[in-house]
Amino acid sequence: MRTSSKHWISIITMAASAAIVLLILNSCTTVAIKEKVDMSETKAVAHRGGALLAPENTIEAFQAGIASGADQLELDIHLSKDDMIIVMHDPTLQRTANRSGAIRDYTAAELKQFNAASAHQGHSPLEIPTLKEVLDLVKDTDLELQIEIKVDKDGNRYEGIEERLIALLKEYELIDRSIVISFDFPTLARIQELQPSLRTGALVSKAYMSKIGSKGPKAVAEGIKALQVDYIGINHTYLSPALHQELRNQELGIGAWTVNDEEAMKKIAALGVAFITSDRPDLLVATLRP
């Protein structure tokens, strides 16, 4: 029995179409699948590098955090006048650098002239670091980063900070070793839009807990889950067993901050969390791994 040319063309066309559909489905599946948060071990996070070990958010603090044996370094970022990513907690300079004005008012070169250790009487002067300098410090280690994107002194997002951050993390091949965290939820949405593979964590403020938390633990967990983030970072005093369970029901990674007391560290670790953030990462590591 002879098969016609038209019949063979039809078979080939159908096979090609099926192959294309399968390829598309496989591609979609690859994008959609995201690794579940590992809650099997509590990681130690050095808050601002180790804010009780050295002046916060300085290279000296990050070196202390690394030396402590912490698993992750936490740091805060802003944009300078010339759009360089600067590492500092506050949007203004008064508290840590004893200068007037905001980070956004100065270029990176000008900020380098200020002393990031001004709040520490008798301490030798330290520069305000750029994010690039911190990445240079950690690139050859196995540490992870928690990078908190801040807003400016007026509570507004820095235009383009997400793009600049992602570009630097790609340059240093640190996308897989980084978590972007923020109290500003639109910032996290922008990160997810630009780089879906980059892990994100929503930080929960006192105002959020006063408003949403008043509706109960389930409302908090469902609200955070709706943001499509991987983690929630919450003040450890708010982390009740009931809230912990609701967050786990939503398969969210749980992080507790800022825990500087040994007994509190033990209590939170026993509850089961993905990470604990502390100004004393040395004490935290010793407590988690006696």
In whole angstroms, give the CA distance from residue 75 to residue 147: 5
Q: Which of 78, 89, 123, 244 is catalytic?
A: 89
Q: Which residues pair with 276 in a beta bridge?
A: 44, 256
DSSP 8-state symbol, 25: H
- R_g (Cα) of the chain, nearest Å: 23
Q: Which of 47, 78, 236, 244 is catalytic?
A: 47
Q: What is the dihedral of CA 18, 32, 195, 183, to 10 degrees?
A: 160
Question: Would you call 47 a catalytic residue per the annotation?
Answer: yes
DSSP 8-state symbol, 24: H
In whole angstroms, give the CA distance from residue 226 to residue 273: 20
Residue carrying the six token digits 């690039």? 132
> How does DSSP assign 238-270, residue by residue?
G--HHHHHHHHHTT-EEEEE----HHHHHHHHH
Pinpoint the alpha helices (H) of the chain.
5-32, 59-67, 94-97, 108-111, 131-138, 161-171, 185-194, 206-211, 217-225, 241-249, 262-271, 281-288
Under 8 Å CB-to-CB from 76, ≥6 apart: which residues? 48, 57, 87, 88, 89, 148, 150
Question: Would you call 7 a catalytic residue per the annotation?
Answer: no
Task: Please state whether beta strands 275-278 and 253-257 pair in parallel, antiparallel, or not at all (unpaired).
Answer: parallel
In whole angstroms, give the CA distance from residue 193 to residue 249: 25
| Residues taking part in catalysis | 47, 89
